[in-house]
Structure 1
Amino acid sequence: MTEVTNTALTVRAGAAGDVEEVLAFWSDAAEGTDRRDSADAVRGLIERDPEALLIAELDGRIVGTVIAGWDGWRCHLYRLAVDPAHRRKGIARVLLEVAEKRFAEYGGIRADAMVLDDNTLAHHAWTAAGYVRQPQWGRWVKPLQ
């Protein structure tokens, strides 16, 4: 993946050296408290797919992230998060554009995102980016640990 620059905003793939900073960023900027994030899990993501974790930076500081996961069949988006001090400036839109370009390069035809029902602020961002909620689907989960 090549870096994408939008004025002062840069989007790049995350690397092993970013793990601790990304975890700290998510604890401040991401929604949801039931996640069991770990440095090992983020490193595992980067090792498996070095271009999946997209990081937006301003002046060398993380201001946004999204995980653009491609499993060979579907395009999945996770952890779209923007620093609260930098929201409503187009950072999420740029991150999603980069993710969608990545998916298109793989031949992906549709991206999906898991968005918390109560995160209404995020609903606006996803809607503005052209995503719609599919009412006919429900998410089924089974904890593995």
Structure 2
Amino acid sequence: MSESPADDPVIALLIEGALDLGRVRQHVRLFLAGVEEPAVADAVLVTVMLAGDAYRFGDPPITLRLRLLDSGARLRIEIDHDPANRSGSRMGSRTRILNRITTARGQERQGAHMITWAELPLRVGTEMLEAHPRVV
């Protein structure tokens, strides 16, 4: 997993119960205020897909982290969850969609938790970077 400098803006959302996809979408849109709409729509889609899979095939709590990398040129989406022993495909046919939208993605186990992550390019206006102090 790539490390980001301490000054890269990051925000987290803890999901402890039922997955509210409307709240997830709003969280992404608020974090990416100032980013061109096509990039925001891609980020929302990828985030909802990853969060949905973590919820379907894992157990809460789920932590969603959004991190701007390379001075806002890229977005890293991280979903930290406890994978349950459930059968089923994690990605299925959605792999093609993720391959087209993301520049990198993967999974890493950290103890009992799994971190599923994806990165995608953004076109960011300078006003967005000034509006988002580092939030953890």
What TM-score comes out, normalization by structure 1 length? 0.31
Larger strand proportion of the pair: 2
The structure showing larger relative contact order (alpha-carbon pairs under 8 Å, at least 6 residues apart) is 2
